[in-house]
Structure 1
Amino acid sequence: MILCSWVDAVLREQLLRAERKSVSGAPGAPQKSNLKSTSSIYWSQSFDERQRGHEQIRAAIRRGAIEAKWAEQGGEERPLEWVRVQDMGVLAELLGVATNLTVLTEATTGLAGWIGRCPHLQDVINAWARLRRVRGLGPDSWRTWSDASMVLNALKSTPDTDIPVRVLSTQLFTDSKYIEGLTAQLDVLSGNGISAIARKRREVLNALGLVKQPMPILIAGKGRIIFEDGPSCDIPRPYVGFEPRSIRGYLGTPSWVMTVENLTTFHLVAQALKARQDGLVVFTGGMPSPAWVSGFRSLTAALQTATFYHWGDVDLGGFRIAAHLREVALPAGVVLHPWLMHLTISGVGKPTSDGTRDAMRAAAARAGWESIGELPALTLEQENTPVSIPTELSAKTDP
C-alpha cells in the first residue's frame, strides 16, 4: 500500500517515538501524535486527502500497528484527533522499514570480528543502540565500518610506510576511490573517537600513510645526510628532498630544529636560513605520514641537545600536527616548543566556534604547550604571519 504523505509522516513519527521509548526504558506508552491543532500536517491536507488517509489509518488499526481516535462530532466525516503506536514491529512492517533494533542486531553481528581489534568501534555500536548517528551514519552503514576496519588492518602490515591510497583501494575493493569515501569512518576509528571534531580528509589519510603519491622529506639547513644505501650527501642551499626511509642519520650541530606545516612558509624559511649555520628546518607536508615520521626520527635521533620548534597554522589542524609530532616523532627526552603559534592571544585572527577553540586547547596541551595559555576562539593561517626564524638567544627559550 502506498501511504498518503501525511499518514506516512505520522506513522514514521510514531515509530521513532516507540524506538526512543524502548531505548530509554521509561514506563508507559509513547506520546501520541496530536492532530487536533490546525497547524498540524493533518489540517494542511485537502478534505479528500484526509479522507483517503483515514482509510489507511483504519487499515493500520486492523493490523494492530496503531491506535487512533476520531472527534466525537462530525458524523462519518469527523476529523482524526490523534494516533499512537501499538506494536512497533507491526508498524515497521507496514512502513516497509526495519526497526533500529533489527538493523543494530545485524550490524553488531556483521562487525563482531572487528570489535576489540579496532579502537572506538564498540563506541560506534553503543551510539547506534542509543539511536545516535555517528558522523551522520546509522547502523545500516555497518558494512562501510567493516570496510574501514579492513583498511586499518591492512595498514598494520606496513608500518612506517606510505601507500598510494588509490593503489590500496583498488587492491582491497577493486575501486580506486573507495577508501577516500571512508574518511569519516577512518577518522573515528583511528582518531580520538566519536566525540572528537572531525579531521579533514587529507589529515586523516596522511596520518595513516595513505597518500596521493609518496613524497620526499624536504630539509633546509647545514649538515650531511647519511643514507641506508649509497654515499652521504651535504644539504644544498636552499633545501633538498629525499625519500624519508632512505635516511639513516645526520651529521651536523644545529642549535635548533624547526618543523614547518605549510610548503609556502617552508620555502620562505629556507630562504631566510641561507645565510645561517645554526638551524635545521623540515617540511611536514601537513599532518606527517608514517614514512615521514620514520625519516625524521632517523634525521634527528642524535640531536637531543638542540631546541625543537613547530610552526604551523594556529587552528585545530595545526595543533593536532604538533601533538602528533610530540607523541611519535621527536627524539627521546626532547621538548617541542611552539614557534609563532601564540599570536591569536593578542586578538589577531579569524573567529571560530567555542567548540573548536576548546579542541585547539586540548590539542595544544597534548603538544605540551600549556605555556601558550588560554587560546581565544580565533584561528590564523601560517601564511598570514611574517616569516622569522630563531636567533641564537631565542633558540634556547620559548618565543
Structure 2
Amino acid sequence: MIHDLLDRHEMLPHAISLRAYVDEEAFSSVEARDRFLQALKAAEATGGLRIKQTRDKADIAHVRLAEPAALYAHVGRRPARSDVDARLATIRARAGPSAQMIALLEQIAESWARGVGCFGLTPHDVTGLADALELVQALAARMNAGDASLIDYRSFSRSAGTDSKALERLTPIVARLFAYLHPDHAPEGSWSPKHWLTGLGVVRMPQPLLLSGSLMLGDQSLPRLSYYGIPPEQAADIALAGPVAYVLTIENYVSFVRHVREINANLDALIIYTGGFPSHAHLQQIVRLAAAADAPLLHWGDMDGGGIRIFRHLEKALADHGLRLHPHLMDSATLIAQGVPRAMALRKADAPPADSAIYPLWEVLANYELMLEQESLTPHHPNLRTASGRNAPKR
C-alpha cells in the first residue's frame, strides 16, 4: 500500500489528496491484519501518512498520503524525480545552459518522474536521449553551415559521435527534439522525419541522380543512352547539350523508366527521377538544370497526400528561382475516372495555397476518398501549350 501511494504520487505529483483503502477480506488471518496495522502505524508515526478509522473504530476507512518525503525515508525509497535528475545530470552538464535546452530537459524530467515517456523516449532512456541530442546538434551544425552534400545515415551517425545505427533507430525522436530546440528551422508539419532528413541531404544511402536527355559531363557529350545515373558528387558537372523541349520530374522509378523509353527515346526532353522526395543535393541540380533549360516545366507523381507534398516541395523550390511547375497526368478528371478508394485521410497541413498549380487536384482529393498511383497510368507526352516554365513577371 505504501509503495502504491508513492507510485500514484509520482504519477500525480500535484494531487492534493491521495487515498488508499484496505481490503479487510484479503487478510489470511487476524495475525496478518495485526502485522499490517502495526506497519501502517509505524509509517503514520513518521508523519508520512494519516490513518482514518471508521466511526466505530473497528476498521480503517482509508489511508491518506500526508508527507511524501517522510514516507520515502521510512521505506528507504528514492523519489523518482531524484532518480531522474541523477540520471540526467551528465546530459545537463554536457548540453550547455541555453534556455531552450534547460526547458527541454525539465520537461523530460517531469515526464520521466511520472513514469511517462516524452518526445518518443521511454522513461529513463538516458542513452537514447544522449544519442538523439548529439544527432540534433550535428544536424543543426550541418544546416547552419549550408552543407548540401549527401551523406548516409550510418556515416552521419558516426560523425555525430554515436553508434552507426543511432539515426536509423532514433529518427522520429531526433525530428521532435530538433523541432523543440530549433523552432525556426523545424521540419514542416507535412513532412515525415525521413523526408525531412532527405531534404537535409541525410539519406539511407546517397542515390545517383537519374536523368534522361541530351547531356554533357563537363566538356564531354554523353553517349546516347535511355537514361544516366550520375554519382551525387559529380551531378554539378552535368550540363545540357542543346535546346530542351520540356523538363519533367517523375516521382516513381517505374514511371520514370517507362517515360524515358516510350516517350523520350529521341532525348529531346530532360527527364529527372526524384525518388519520392528529392534530397537537398538532388533538388539543387533539378533547379539548376530546369533554369538552364528555360522550357516548360512539369512534374508527374502519385495522386494522393504524399504526391501533393512532393509536388509542393518542388514547386516552392523552383518558384524561388522564378520557375513555374505544372502537374502532368495529375488532373481531377483522371483521378475521378481511374482512382481507387483511399485508406488514409488527407492531412490539413498538406493543403496547398489556392495559387498553387496542384490546388485543383487537392480540392478533388479532399472531396472524394480516392487516390491513384502514377504507375497505373500509361506515359504520355505532356501538353506543352499550357505549361510555361517561367513565372509571369510581377506587375
Scaled by the length of structure 1, the TM-score of the pair is 0.71
In 2 relative to 1, CA 397–224 (structure 1 residues): closer, same or farther, beyond 3 Å? closer
Q: In structure 2, what is the equivalent of residue 212 of structure 1?
A: 204
Which of 321, 329, 334 lines up with 1:332 in the alignment?
Answer: 321
Q: Is the 8 A contact 1:127 1:133 kept in 2?
A: no
Alignment of structure 1 residues 286-305 onto 2, 5 Å: 286-305=276-295
In 2 relative to 1, CA 128–396 (structure 1 residues): closer, same or farther, beyond 3 Å? same
In 2 relative to 1, CA 147–262 (structure 1 residues): closer, same or farther, beyond 3 Å? same
Query: Does the alignment pair 1:165 with 2:165?
Result: no
In 2 relative to 1, CA 208–81 (structure 1 residues): closer, same or farther, beyond 3 Å? same
CA distance in 1, matches of 2:174, 2:63: 44
User: What amino acid sits opposite 2:3 in the alignment?
Assistant: D
CA distance in 2, matches of 1:301, 1:329: 9
CA distance in 2, matches of 1:188, 1:226: 41
Task: Summarize deviations over 1:363-399 as a string: whole Å, max 9, x none.
Answer: x77976333343338574635531333433465289x
RMSD, matched Cα? 4.4
SS for the counterpart of 1:388 is coil
CA distance in 2, matches of 1:366, 1:114: 40
Q: Is the 8 A contact 2:244 2:268 kept in 1?
A: yes
SS for the counterpart of 2:198 is helix
User: What amino acid sits opposite 2:64 in the alignment?
Assistant: V
Pick the structure with greater CA Rg: 2
CA distance in 2, matches of 1:44, 1:383: 69
Alignment of structure 1 residues 37-186 onto 2, 5 Å: 46-47=26-27, 61-67=44-50, 69-73=52-56, 75=58, 78-79=59-60, 81-84=62-65, 86-87=67-68, 91=72, 94=77, 96-98=79-81, 102=85, 110-112=94-96, 124=104, 128=108, 131=111, 134-137=118-121, 141=126, 142-153=129-140, 155-156=142-143, 157=145, 159-173=147-161, 175-186=163-174
Scaled by the length of structure 2, the TM-score of the pair is 0.71
Q: Is the 8 A contact 1:148 1:185 kept in 2?
A: no
Alignment of structure 1 residues 259-298 onto 2, 5 Å: 259-275=249-265, 279-298=269-288
User: What amino acid sits opposite 2:62 in the alignment?
Assistant: E
User: What amino acid sits opposite 1:181 in the alignment?
Assistant: R
CA distance in 2, matches of 1:384, 1:309: 14
Q: Is the 8 A contact 1:265 1:382 kept in 2?
A: no
Number of residue equivalences: 363
Q: Is the 8 A contact 1:225 1:250 kept in 2?
A: yes
Task: Summarize deviations over 1:96-151 as a string: whole Å, max 9, x none.
Answer: 422699579856665336767xxxx6885586488585442378554234212232
CA distance in 1, matches of 2:211, 2:171: 30
Q: Is the 8 A contact 2:121 2:173 kept in 1?
A: no
User: What amino acid sits opposite 2:17 in the alignment?
Assistant: K
Question: Which stretch of the first structure deviates more once superposed, 259-268 or 329-338?
Answer: 329-338
- Percent identity reads 21
